[in-house]
Structure 1
Amino acid sequence: MSVLFSPIKLRGLNLPNRIMVSPMCQYSAVDGEANDWHFTHINSLALSGAAMFCIEATHVEAIGRITPGCLGLYNDATEAALKPILASVRKRSKTAVAMQLAHAGRKGSSHTPWDGGQQIPVAEGGWQAVAPSAIAHKAGEAAPLELDAAGLARIRDAFVAAAKRAERLGIDALELHGAHGYLLHQFLSPISNKRSDQYGGSLENRMRFPLEVFDAVRAVFPATKPVGMRVSSTDWVEGGWDLAQTIEFVTELKKRGIDWIDASSGGVSPLQKIPLGPGYQVPFAQAIKQATGVTTIAVGLVTEAKQSEDIVASGKADMVALARGMLYDPRWGWHAAAELGGQVEAPPQYWRSQPATQKALFGATTFGTR
């Protein structure tokens, strides 16, 4: 029996397989509001066969967006824009829907990747970014504003407000974005955090704000629903955040009831040197799982069914998350199930699509017509 297609339980959420559609920025919102692009994108991948679909980085305040096209959940309009999309998903799919809550920090006010991704000056329609310290992400950029006590409280409260909105929308799970050089990661990394107060310096201090945000979100999101976090397991820069510190951080999160760790890496410095290759981040998920016992999700150039099966069957991670692979093959879960002997949920309109050799793929038999 395929381990990839075996069930897993996250608090009150029962998932029929170990596959998640990774949160992927679409840079297609207007004023933070989802639109027809998101309707098509989310509804399509909700039929991928993955047990859980995670909505892209959804920002908790307008200046927390990476780009002007990034999704938000910070006012009534952004909440209302997601409502019909989620209603449509629920009609057609049984997939669990998670949402990644995020704040870009000093990487905010940027152009979309296909427009170069460079910082947008305030004079050209950008905004003043904020961060743990007034240090630009890279040379030539305007420095962010260092957050004071009021700013920290505002952002913490914004995460809480977004979590409450997510619950009103019926979101099944939340993932906090603590990776890729965005705000929570900026607090963790000594490269971006040079504070001299209780939020900087020692590892304990650098962990403080991300832990406060997790505690605040966990306190308002229903106890039956899971909350996880994506982390950058290393900065890939000497003297930066690394796996040993990540394990200490996850150990603290475990005490607070974290439900999973989505183990990614990098993003806080343009000096990073990442050795890309298939499954290059899987060892991070494995090390975190072994050291802490927390449920881990492996992500990063995980593209093949047999590769995914090996990751979970060997205990290197509990789940896998796919991004580019899902965009390229929106029915990746179906094809993986066919290859590995698993079953997936599919709408009856599509039951006839299964190959003659895979009659058990959807757990349904071909029906006749009159």
Structure 2
Amino acid sequence: MSQLFTPIELAGHTVRNRLWVAPMCMYSATDGMPNDWHHVHLAQFAAGGAGMVIAEATAVVPEGRISPEDTGIWNDAQAEAWAPITAAIRARGAVPAIQLAHAGRKASTWSPFAGRGHGSVPEGEGGWPTLAPSAVAFDGYATPAELDAAQIDALVDAFGAAAARAWGAGFEALEVHAAHGYLLHEFLSPLSNHRTDEYGGSLENRARLLLRILDAVREAAPEALLMVRFSAQDWADGGWDLAQTATVATWAAAHGAAFVDVSSGGLVAHQKITTGPGYQVHLAAGIREATGLPVGAVGEITTGPQAEAILASGEADVVLAAREWLRDPHFALRAAGELGDADLAPWPAQYLRARRRA
């Protein structure tokens, strides 16, 4: 019996298998509005057999976008535009999910399609001032302003409001983005958080904003599956690490999080990281062992046997892939065949004629 194609139940939500689509920025929205590109892009993965499809990092406020072309869910019009997309995902058997995000000091940057390289978009060219826990810039980006207490309170409210809109738009799972060097990761790591108030210094203080946001999201959408994505390692001396992640993941569970999506890196430009097949899986395994929580593994996972081995070894409960889904939107259908039984995958009736029999 394949573990990859065994359903998983999380906080009362059943997901049909354990091969999910990780959130991937498309840099294709206007004024935060998802469009036909996002509809086709996300729905195809559900037809391709994914258990859950997580929409890209979606800003809870305009200034939280990574680029001017990022999606948002800070107003009702955006939520209405997401609704047919979630319906399309659900109609094809997958769970629609969204990553709620704020980019912090890494906001207002050029998209990969702008032809302007890396760096901050000037205000005169569609950019905006950025905000962060401390006035410390990411290398090569504009220096952010330090958030004050009132702005932090408003941000908590914005996450809650976005969660309510997301649930109303049909997203069944909500992932709070605390990874990849964006705002909540910036609060967690001592490399980017130099505050001396109740949001800086101790681990409890650095985690305070994340936990407040989880409370706000849970209150706004109590029936949703609440998830958190962490970068479990900064890959830089003196930074955020696996032990701190495990501690905060346990606290997050006490505040309603039912699943931990484990990635790494992104906080500083001087990170030292060696990539390769499954290079982040050991971090997921470490969080799972330390906390007992259900976790997802990521990082150059490209075949059915590789994904199956990760689950069979007990390193993770779910495998999330990103670029492999871009290369093959029917990754799950292929993965089942690679495991020797195409019938394991949830083939759409329209595609059954293409299924290879053993």
Residue 146 of structure 1, CA deviation = 0.6
Letter in 2 for 1:45: F
Letter in 2 for 1:124: E
Counterpart position of 2:247: 248
Residue 26, structure 1, aligned to residue 33, structure 2 = no
Counterpart position of 1:203: 203
- 1:154-303 correspondence to structure 2 within 5 Å: 154-223=154-223, 225-303=224-302
Counterpart position of 1:117: 118
**Is the partner of 1:267 in helix, strand or coil?**
coil
Residue 345 of structure 1, CA deviation = 2.1
> How far does the alpha carbon of each residue in 1:142-176 deviate from its partner, in whole angstroms, 9 at most, with x for none?
21111011110111111000100011111111111
In the alignment, structure 2 segments of 5+ residues that lack a partner are none
> How far does the alpha carbon of each residue in 1:67-89 deviate from its partner, in whole angstroms, 9 at most, with x for none?
01101000122112212222333
**Is the partner of 1:46 in helix, strand or coil?**
helix
- 1:122-137 correspondence to structure 2 within 5 Å: 122-137=123-138
The alignment yields a C-alpha RMSD, in angstroms, of: 1.2
Counterpart position of 1:361: none
Letter in 1 for 2:251: E
Deviates more, 1:254-263 or 1:186-195: 254-263
Residue 275 of structure 1, CA deviation = 1.0
> How far does the alpha carbon of each residue in 1:224-281 deviate from its partner, in whole angstroms, 9 at most, with x for none?
x310100000100000111111111112112223211111000110010111111111
Counterpart position of 2:309: 310
Give the Cα–Cα distance (whole angstroms) in 2 for the partners of residues 173 and 167 of structure 1.
8
Q: 1:90 to 1:14 in 2, by over 3 A?
A: closer
> How far does the alpha carbon of each residue in 1:101-142 deviate from its partner, in whole angstroms, 9 at most, with x for none?
000011000001243232112233210110000111114x32
Is the Cα–Cα contact under 8 Å of residues 68 and 126 in structure 2 kept in the other structure?
Answer: no
Counterpart position of 1:55: 55
**Is the partner of 2:262 in helix, strand or coil?**
strand
Letter in 1 for 2:93: K
In the alignment, structure 1 segments of 5+ residues that lack a partner are 359-370
Counterpart position of 1:365: none
**Is the partner of 1:113 in helix, strand or coil?**
coil
Letter in 1 for 2:30: V
Q: 1:226 to 1:149 in 2, by over 3 A?
A: same
Identity score, percent:
50
> How far does the alpha carbon of each residue in 1:195-243 deviate from its partner, in whole angstroms, 9 at most, with x for none?
01000011111111111111111122133x3101000001000001111
Is the Cα–Cα contact under 8 Å of residues 304 and 338 in structure 2 kept in the other structure?
Answer: yes
**Is the partner of 1:31 in helix, strand or coil?**
coil
Give the Cα–Cα distance (whole angstroms) in 1 for the partners of residues 320 and 40 of structure 2.
20
Give the Cα–Cα distance (whole angstroms) in 1 for the partners of residues 172 and 84 of structure 2.
16
Give the Cα–Cα distance (whole angstroms) in 2 for the partners of residues 333 and 348 of structure 1.
15
Give the Cα–Cα distance (whole angstroms) in 2 for the partners of residues 211 and 239 of structure 1.
23
Residue 48 of structure 1, CA deviation = 1.8
Runs of 4+ in 1 over 6 A off after TM superposition: none
Give the Cα–Cα distance (whole angstroms) in 1 for the partners of residues 319 and 146 of structure 2.
36
Counterpart position of 1:96: 95
Residue 346 of structure 1, CA deviation = 2.9
Give the Cα–Cα distance (whole angstroms) in 2 for the partners of residues 105 and 148 of structure 1.
13
TM-score when normalising by structure 2:
0.96
The structure with the larger Rg is 1
Give the Cα–Cα distance (whole angstroms) in 2 for the partners of residues 131 and 60 of structure 1.
15
**Is the partner of 2:191 in helix, strand or coil?**
coil
TM-score when normalising by structure 1:
0.93
**Is the partner of 2:33 in helix, strand or coil?**
coil
Deviates more, 1:167-176 or 1:338-347: 338-347
Is the Cα–Cα contact under 8 Å of residues 87 and 170 in structure 2 kept in the other structure?
Answer: no
- 1:340-351 correspondence to structure 2 within 5 Å: 340=339, 341=341, 343-351=344-352
Residue 152, structure 1, aligned to residue 152, structure 2 = yes
Give the Cα–Cα distance (whole angstroms) in 2 for the partners of residues 303 and 260 of structure 1.
22
Give the Cα–Cα distance (whole angstroms) in 1 for the partners of residues 148 and 256 of structure 2.
28
Counterpart position of 1:354: 355
